[in-house]
Chains A and B, each alone.
Chain A
Amino acid sequence: MRKPLILLMMLVIIVLFPGILVGQASIEKVLLEDRTIQDPLKSWSVTFTQPVNKGTIKKQNFYIIDERKRELKTKLRVSEDESKVTITPESPYKDNVQYYLHIKGNVKSGKTFLNEHTILPFKLETRTSSNKGTNKTSGTDKKQVSANTGKSETNTSKSETSSSSKPNQKNKAKNLTSVQTECHSHFVEITVNVSDQVAKVKTGSDEFEYKGNNLFVLYKPDLKKGEKLTVKGYSISNKVLETKEIVIP
């Protein structure tokens, strides 16, 4: 007797909230660049440009798994202004084990859901374990390593070693070679010149049109003066090669 009732309820939910299915189907995976960390208890914070819906801050949406897909025990914390979520491991990371931080696309920021499922691979490096204490620094050298649909930016809450971050920074700077904006009456024209390595350019869920010759263009109508946009260049395997923030003039 209960089974038909449960089935009926599921059907009613699917009929009433078809977005559940649609939303899941349209979510895209974004794999970020590998990170090397030195702090075995490193916490990760995800900064959103708009307050995040508290109902979507749950461990199913923010979690860390290891290379065997075992989920780590973590604690989630949300900032007072609800714009930052911090994920802290309850036990230390193991040396040379590949971990993955997952931020699911069904997190709601502002009025919309993120439409990307972001994965940040990272590893604890043994070689520099003796320098752990000295490498911890203040938040001034925090590095943006990803952004989801223009709504969030994942920051390491603690800095990384200069040896692992500097080459990345150097490579990154080469990929989005120039970003230009031109305001027309009814939309903004954003032109991005890229390096050979960049195969795709996006801002949030909007994908730029490739015009050839390493030039991408996007015409975006819903922008206001002073609004900030995060432009990301991707490789063919959907790795973020560089992120740039632009301000609409």
Chain B
Amino acid sequence: MRKVNILGVVFLLLLSILVPAVNHPVQASNYPKIEKTIPAAGDQHVPIDTDIRIQFNSNILKISANYIKLFVKTNGTYTDLPIKTIRKDRDVLNIIPEQSLEFNKDYLVQINGPAIELENGTYSQSLSYEFSTNYIDFYELMVINEQRLENLLTQYTPREIKAFAPKRYINEINVTHKKPGAFKEDQTSISGITNIDITTKSEDVKNVHVEILKNGKLLQKGYAHSLNEDKGQKNTLKFDIGFSKMPDFFDVHVTALDSSQKIIDSKILKFATEEGKIINTYKESFKYKTEGKGYTLHELLSKESLFSDFLAESPLTDIKVQVEDK
């Protein structure tokens, strides 16, 4: 009888150990938790056009936006990154910042306290994770160190590797150059004058700087003047600058700068005076299909014309590559 009692106790003990273990997965799925974050904690080379998403194990019912924060690391310290909207899509929480992510920054996502109410309860744990939008140079992958591209392709598929063309701001450069000499009907000798008009996008552009070079040597330089007359033109700005005593053959290096004097676009144009002409004009207009856009390697390699445009429209050294886990 005693033996039966002991067996019974052992059996009960075994049950108490085994039953919770068997039921554990069911219990866990009912307990509010995060299934996945995109980007994942510690992710590097995160594409700047990525969405910040957090997937829970149950549908989201209510969000307390006050508990959800985004930070960007600037000069070693984290500063608040304003959030435009926080959206729920079934079990996924989408955090959309006011401004798109920038290259080469560290971002911190934070959820505190009872921020999310799910169908299976309130997610009240604290969550904090970082990701980085650093990048790889396209030029390095494609020209200097092609082995690195091969290595990258062992980790990511062409659909997960994304190349971003830089934004372009210079729309047009127009050079009018008058050689030193006299007009036929005007006997007065006029020294050589060169006028350069530059049209840019109005967005972000504050200043335009022009350098005149010959055989790599800087001859003259200066900031172009903003022309008020062109203010009627929507979305564009017009600048001009004049030089004298210029040679007949020279390079015009134009840079567009933003309000913090950061170079946001540059163009080099070659000017070559034609023989027999006193006044020479040369205009180059720039039109872009790919500027500011991101394309997967798969897209570029499968569409020849797109890849051609992509390579032709941006300096290779300005194209940035990032990767995403799908």
Contact = CB atoms under 8 A, between A and B. Distances in A.
Interface of A: 184-187, 189, 196-200, 206-207, 209-214, 218-222, 235-237
Contacts of A196: 248-249, 272
Contacts of B33: none
A237 B311 contact: no
Given A186-B301, A210-B269, A236-B274, A219 B146 contact: no
Contacts of B312: 206-207, 209, 218-219
Q: Which 3 A-B pairs have the closest CB atoms?
A: A196-B249, A219-B311, A236-B282
28 contacts: A185-B149, A186-B307, A187-B142, A189-B143, A196-B248, A197-B249, A197-B274, A199-B271, A199-B282, A207-B312, A209-B312, A209-B315, A210-B270, A212-B216, A212-B251, A212-B253, A212-B268, A214-B270, A219-B312, A220-B308, A221-B304, A221-B308, A221-B311, A222-B304, A236-B273, A236-B274, A236-B281, A236-B282
Contacts of B280: 236
Interface in B266-300: 268-274, 280-282
B215 interface: yes
Given A197-B272, A221-B307, A213 B142 contact: no
B156 to A, nearest CB: 16
A213 to B, nearest CB: 5
Interface string B201-237: 0000000000001011000000000000000000000
A54 to B, nearest CB: 26
Nearest to A213: B216
B146 A184 contact: yes
Contacts of B215: 213
Contacts of B142: 184-187
B316 interface: yes
Contacts of A189: 143
Nearest to B267: A210
A77 B248 CA distance: 45
Contacts of B146: 184-185
A177 to B, nearest CB: 14
Given A189-B143, A220-B311, A235-B272, A212 B213 contact: yes
A184 B146 CA distance: 8
